[in-house]
């Protein structure tokens, strides 16, 4: 059994009236004989002094580092260095400082460790011609004239703390319905339901951000939904709920390449939502008026699709998985389809592959025998680098809506070469045409400052609705003046859904499980946090009891599934484990309240999705 200890860092910017103070210190540099560094059979001579640090990935110069504890109410720091004594560099030493010109000799930063501020100073005690034997640094601190308490928005209890909760899963973006049949699957009698109290919770489909500073929801969030027939307070057999759901895999628009790039969720192929019959009225989709006086018109949208098969994890390590394997004369056929594609516009294709070969090889992508893309694969392979990669982009023309690509491997005469396909992305312009069902669409060309776009809809229907689903938590209904167009501000990229409120239009989510009440957000801070797989709960409880009795420790236990429910909307996501631990750090009002120990109870695997098991 192993314990894992986490040291959490948080960077805080505070604003207040400044009070200044200065501190000075003199440092003697004791130079030593040059050191020698061996890398890839190359021997490099390095200047050296007692206690020197080296930034191997940046430069080969010795660095003086000092870490200083600061007052709690510090706001900023400025460091100035003054040379006290130096000697000329020898001829051989001059050759070793050639990279000094491009380096910042003095650098400093404030970081927080366990809510205590520290100043870290980095200084290269060299000039272009001198070794510095002694220098003086002066620190000027700016801080408030009183201690600022570290306040956080604290959620006292999770929404899962009380009531009945039912979890279901989705695998695609779209509009989903909850009707009588789904309630019956959940063993809920519709006679007991007041439809006005129906609530749907979920936090969108994207993976949690790895950077602490980026936004994430701190608990499950209620989504705006539509409920047909709720006004009478009775859920009749024909009533239904409609909500917008996101898949776990997402798209990001690249402003440089002017193309959509897919973001595969490496932890989970499904996204999860929760239904709760509350005591208060649920959150409903509100309507907004269409904007007048548009300054841009569009009658098309950009549709993107991707193919990525997670089948092989090379050397059973890392987070990348690959699909089709090429080693002999394999050829794979992969099909894509677009609805109402504008056939006079080209199709954009982007693909990536990896391979191992000492000579140049490539993957070839053909459509009806004509090559539309070649992906050259690099040859940078060593005993440490197993495969190299290649990624290419191209455009091709076709009058087809259904596109069948053939993928083959050119080994360039190297019989030992092999390759794996990573992914294929296609992007095409499609007519903004709606004739029933549901249509999700977005169009990057509409985005501009002060832009109001008019979307022209080609439809043979005289009744439909348009929802703005850009923010999946706050879906809004756009009031239409007619069934030919609508106008909205598009200073940022927006996503819309057209549908007809016909019950048969919508997708059906899969009922997953009933969620017992839980409340990790209500846990008090503890000396030890135990994070365990649900299967090891009883063993974790026995270990916790041991530490309580033998070490007088306070202990909190949480299962991975409980953490996923409250911190990643039910999806498996390892960042959620960190966010659970970080919750205690954020809520702590003093260093003493920060947990000292974290124990990950169980085994670990590179195979988050259980691909090798299947």
Q: Is the pLDDT of residue 6 over 80?
A: no
Q: Is the pLDDT of residue 5 over 60?
A: no
| DSSP per-residue codes, 122-157 | EE--B-SSEEEEEEEEEEEEEE-SSPPP-------S
Q: Is the pLDDT of residue 40 over 70?
A: no
Q: Are the beta carbons of 358 and 414 closer than 8 angstroms?
A: yes
Q: Is the pLDDT of residue 9 over 70?
A: no
The string of pLDDT tens digits covering residues 522-580 is 999 999 999 999 999 999 999 999 999 999 999 999 999 999 999 999 999 999 999 99
pLDDT band at 13 (very low <50, low <70, confident <90, very high): very low
Domain 19-143 carries which CATH code? 2.60.40.3800
pLDDT band at 14 (very low <50, low <70, confident <90, very high): very low
Q: In angstroms, what CA-CA distances link 238 with 179, 197, 229, 235, 504? A: 8, 17, 8, 8, 11
| Positive or negative: CA dihedral 206, 222, 579, 552 | negative
Joined tokens for residue 310: 């997670």
User: What was the pLDDT predicted at 8?
Assistant: 35
**C-alpha span between 122 and 103 (Å, rounded):** 12
User: What was the pLDDT predicted at 116?
Assistant: 83
Determine whether 56 is exposed, middle or buried from the number of CB atoms within 10 Å of its CB (0-12, 13-18, 19+).
exposed
The string of pLDDT tens digits covering residues 86-134 is 999 998 888 888 767 666 789 999 998 888 889 999 999 999 899 999 9
Q: What does the domain layout of the chain look like in residue ranges?
A: 19-143, 159-291+432-511, 301-431, 520-601
Q: Is the pLDDT of residue 247 over 90?
A: yes
Average pLDDT over residues 3-19: 37
Kind and range of the H or E run holding 565: helix 560-567
Q: Is the pLDDT of residue 431 over 70?
A: yes
Q: Give the residue from 601, 604, 498 showing the smallest Cα distance to 540.
A: 601
Residues pairing with 143 in the sheet? 19, 74
Q: Are the beta carbons of 377 and 351 closer than 8 angstroms?
A: no
Residues pairing with 178 in the sheet? 241
Domain range 301-431, its CATH number among 3.40.50.2300, 2.60.120.260, 3.30.70.580, 3.40.50.1820:
2.60.120.260
Average pLDDT, the chain: 91
Q: Is the pLDDT of residue 606 over 80?
A: yes
User: What was the pLDDT predicted at 446?
Assistant: 98
Greater model confidence, 354 or 147 = 354
**C-alpha span between 278 and 197 (Å, rounded):** 5
Q: Give the residue from 303, 347, 351 showing the smallest Cα distance to 323.
A: 351
User: What was the pLDDT predicted at 549?
Assistant: 97
The string of pLDDT tens digits covering residues 331-387 is 999 999 999 999 999 999 999 999 999 999 999 999 999 999 999 999 999 888 999
The residue ranges of DSSP E strands in 124-264, in sequence order, are 130-143, 165-170, 174-179, 198-201, 222-223, 226-228, 240-245, 250-254, 259-263
The string of pLDDT tens digits covering residues 116-129 is 889 999 999 999 89
Average pLDDT over residues 590-594: 86
**C-alpha span between 48 and 69 (Å, rounded):** 27
């Amino acid at each position: 059994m192993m314990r894992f200890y986490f040291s959490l860092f948080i960077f805080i910017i505070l604003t207040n009236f400044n009070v200044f103070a200065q501190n000075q210190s003199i440092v003697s540099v004791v130079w030593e004989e040059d050191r020698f560094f061996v890398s890839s059979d190359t021997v490099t001579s390095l200047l050296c002094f007692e206690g020197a640090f080296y930034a191997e990935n940046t430069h080969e110069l010795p660095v003086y580092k000092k870490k200083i504890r600061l007052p709690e109410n510090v706001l900023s720091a400025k460091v100035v260095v003054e040379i006290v004594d130096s000697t000329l560099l020898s001829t051989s030493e001059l050759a070793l400082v050639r990279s000094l010109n491009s380096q910042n000799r003095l650098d400093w930063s404030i970081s927080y460790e366990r809510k205590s501020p520290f100043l870290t100073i980095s200084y290269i005690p060299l000039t272009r011609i001198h070794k510095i034997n002694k220098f003086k640094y002066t620190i000027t601190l700016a801080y408030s004239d009183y201690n600022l308490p570290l306040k956080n928005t604290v959620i006292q209890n999770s929404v899962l703390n009380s009531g009945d909760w039912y979890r279901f899963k989705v695998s695609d973006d779209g509009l989903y319905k909850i009707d009588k049949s789904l309630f019956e699957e959940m063993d809920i009698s519709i006679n007991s339901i007041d439809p006005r109290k129906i609530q749907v919770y979920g936090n969108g489909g994207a993976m949690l951000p790895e950077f602490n500073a980026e936004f994430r929801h701190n608990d499950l969030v209620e989504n705006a939904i539509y409920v047909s027939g709720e006004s009478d307070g009775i859920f009749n057999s024909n009533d239904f709920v409609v909500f917008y759901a996101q898949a776990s895999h997402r798209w990001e628009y690249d402003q440089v390449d002017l193309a959509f790039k897919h973001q595969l969720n490496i932890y989970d192929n499904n996204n999860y939502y929760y239904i709760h019959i509350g005591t208060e009225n649920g959150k409903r989709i509100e309507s907004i008026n269409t904007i007048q006086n548009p300054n841009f018109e569009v009658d098309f949208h950009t549709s993107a699709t991707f193919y990525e098969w997670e089948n092989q994890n090379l050397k059973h390590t890392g987070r990348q998985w690959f699909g089709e394997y090429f080693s002999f004369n394999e050829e794979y056929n992969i099909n894509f389809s677009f609805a109402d594609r504008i056939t006079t516009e080209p199709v954009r294709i982007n693909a990536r592959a990896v391979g191992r070969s000492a000579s140049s090889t490539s993957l070839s992508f053909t459509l009806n025998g004509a090559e539309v893309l070649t992906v050259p694969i690099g040859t940078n392979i060593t005993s440490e680098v197993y495969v190299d990669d290649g990624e290419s982009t191209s455009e091709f023309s076709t009058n087809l809506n259904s596109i069948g690509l053939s993928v083959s491997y050119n080994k360039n005469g190297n019989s030992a070469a092999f390759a794996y396909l990573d992914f294929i992305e296609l992007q095409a312009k499609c007519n903004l045409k709606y004739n029933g069902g549901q249509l999700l669409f977005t169009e990057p060309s509409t985005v501009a400052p002060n832009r109001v776009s008019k979307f022209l809809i080609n439809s043979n229907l005289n009744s439909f609705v348009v929802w703005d689903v850009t923010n999946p938590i706050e879906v809004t209904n756009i009031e239409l003046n007619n069934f030919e167009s609508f106008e909205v501000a598009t200073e940022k990229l927006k996503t819309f859904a057209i549908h007809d409120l016909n019950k048969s239009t919508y997708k059906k989510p899969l009922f997953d499980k009933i969620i017992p009440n839980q409340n990790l957000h209500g846990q008090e801070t503890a000396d030890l946090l135990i994070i365990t797989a649900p299967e090891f709960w009883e063993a974790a409880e026995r270990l916790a009891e041991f530490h309580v009795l033998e070490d007088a420790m306070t202990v909190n236990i949480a299962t991975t599934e409980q953490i996923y429910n409250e911190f990643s909307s039910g999806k498996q996501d390892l960042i959620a484990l960190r966010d659970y631990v970080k919750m205690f750090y954020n809520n702590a009002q003093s260093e003493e309240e920060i947990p000292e120990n974290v124990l990950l109870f169980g085994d670990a695997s590179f195979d988050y999705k259980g691909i090798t098991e299947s």
